[in-house]
Amino acid sequence: MSKLIFVNLPVTDLARSKAFYEAIGAVNNPAFTDDTAACMVFSDTIHAMLLTHDKWRQFTGKRIVDAHADAQVMLCLSADDRDEVSGLVDKATAAGGKADPTPVQDYGFMYGRSFEDPDGHIWEVMWMDPGAIPPHG
């Protein structure tokens, strides 16, 4: 069985964040969604759990960082081609995100861009030519 990842993100406005993630192609899983959290599905194995600050505090006593001012993680999604990379960043920008908070990466065989969601969480979108990957080993 494939491993699943559930990325938990604190959000200030659950409805706004849910709409943002739906606009970039994630699908809400209502079985894990209520007025304190929303499960946004990117694929069979990748899920983003959007948690209100009150819900987040149920899991940890650590301070919630202001992701507009500080960075704790950068999340990365793969893309099938260069056009999908830019298309996802364009969707994020149109939905209220910020395009390219990190430098664009263009190495010919690998291309990446990034966006911030409305709460400042950074997502990278990366494409790599599989034929350019050297054999491992």
What domains can be seen in the chain, in order of their start residue? 1-60 (3.10.180.10), 72-130 (3.10.180.10)
CA-wise closest residue to 11 among 66, 60, 39, 50? 50
Pairing mode of beta strands 122-128, 74-78: parallel
CA-wise closest residue to 6 among 38, 53, 54? 38
**How much is the pTM?**
0.91
Q: How many residues does the chain have?
A: 137
67 within 8 A of 119, measured Cβ to Cβ: yes
Q: pLDDT (tens digit, 9 = 90+) per residue, 23-65?
A: 999 999 999 999 999 999 999 999 999 999 999 999 999 999 9
Which token pair is 72?
């704790």
